[in-house]
Amino acid sequence: MADPTSAKIDTKNEHYTFELAEGVTRTKVTFRNHFGIELAGDLYTPKSAAKNGNAALAISGPFGAVKEQSSGFYANQMASRGYIALAFDPSYTGESGGEPRYMNSPDINTEDFMAAVDYLSTRSNIDPEKIGIVPNGVHMERFEHIPEVQQHEGPFTVGAVVRVVPIKDIVTLLRAFFLVQQELPDAELYVMGGLEEDPDYYALCQQTVEMLQIRNVHFTGSVNVVEYLPKMDVMVLSSISEGQPLAVLEGQAAHRPFVTTDVGCCRELIYGPSDDHLGAAGSIVAPMDFEAMSGEILRLARDFELRRKMGNIGYERAKRGYTYEFFIESYRKIYEQEKEVRR
């Protein structure tokens, strides 16, 4: 049965900046991301592709570019080398939906790629196990001077490395910290990240602090996190959507335990993949559950040895599988596999 989201296109009426490679077909497709935005793509398929078990790639271009340009060019080239490749317009761009037009949102862009991978995995001729994901890599040497969590006098300090925008759900973090202060009145919260992207949301966060009369909340703006992480006892990520957050990896590289929401790859970063037996590097709570979030923060606040242990597990996990060197090596392996596909 034909795919209802697909239809052959008339290339004569399209504005492509390259010629379709011999031995490759191009098909219009649409799919939706987690936010319900319809995304438009071109699926490039080798005419020699098997009926099932094929490897696939999802590709999108730089900000403002559309699938008829660089991403389509690359997808076309990869299809000529044996891959099924999806070039798509990200949200707010080209033929994809979303308003206002030509807005750039890293978070929604991440969701777009996740949706593209989900779409590819539903195709009968693609093996989901052959849709590769290259994990982020952190420069461990940036954090090598930061010691493991220390026991100290003074207030318990909570940190969050986040842009102050709705998708990061800072309001839930503030509500959780309000409950933390009921038991730890001197506790401090540092929200480290840009304030300028959504002034209205930043104003809402300030109003929440004032309304709940929360003390010791510091919105630092953009800072060098390497200078702040040594002061943190526990880190928190309160997002309602993520891909694989670099903020968590950097915190783990600094030996800091985490409380994160159960979004994106956070569960894997905190508890490890199936072949990782290191243990928990923190805890996971449901998105927007400020009571559970505060409970986990307080559990770590009461138990220094648990904080220290979880922070060290996170460090070891980052060192074993999420270094920048591992990131580069993953790409090298992809290109080696590409050579095998061509054979």
214 vs 136: CA distance, rounded Å? 35
Which contacts (CB < 8 Å, 24+ apart) does range 99-103 have?
A: 102/64
Asked if 31 contacts 118 with a C-beta cutoff of 8 angstroms, the reply is yes
Distance of alpha carbon 273 from alpha carbon 267, whole angstroms? 8
Residue 309 has phi, psi (to 5 degrees) of: -60, -50
Long-range contacts of 330-334 (CB under 8 A, 24+ apart): 330/134, 330/135, 331/134, 334/132, 334/134
94: left (phi over 0), alpha (psi -120 to 50) or beta: left
| DSSP per-residue string spanning 159-211 | EEE--SSGGG-HHHHHHHHHHHHHH-TT-EEEEES-SSS-HHHHHHHHHHHHH
AA identity, residue 119: Y
pLDDT tens sequence for the chain (343 residues): 334 344 334 444 467 888 999 999 999 999 999 889 999 999 999 999 999 899 898 888 766 678 988 889 888 988 998 889 999 999 998 899 998 887 767 678 778 888 999 999 999 999 988 876 666 688 899 999 999 999 999 999 999 999 998 989 999 999 999 999 999 999 999 999 999 989 999 999 999 999 999 999 999 999 999 999 999 999 999 998 887 788 999 999 999 999 999 988 899 999 998 889 999 999 999 999 999 999 999 999 999 999 999 999 999 999 998 888 877 777 677 667 655 555 5
Report d(CA 13, CA 17) in Å as an integer: 12
Count of beta carbons in the 10 Å neighbourhood of residue 209? 19
Please report, for residues 2, 175, 238, 256, the alpha-carbon distance to residue 160 in angstroms, rounded to integers and kept in the order given.
47, 14, 8, 11
C-beta pairs of 197-203 under 8 Å, 24+ apart in sequence = 197/163, 197/164, 197/165, 198/164, 198/165, 198/166, 201/164, 201/165, 201/166, 201/170, 202/164
Residue 194's φ and ψ, nearest 5 degrees, are -60, 145
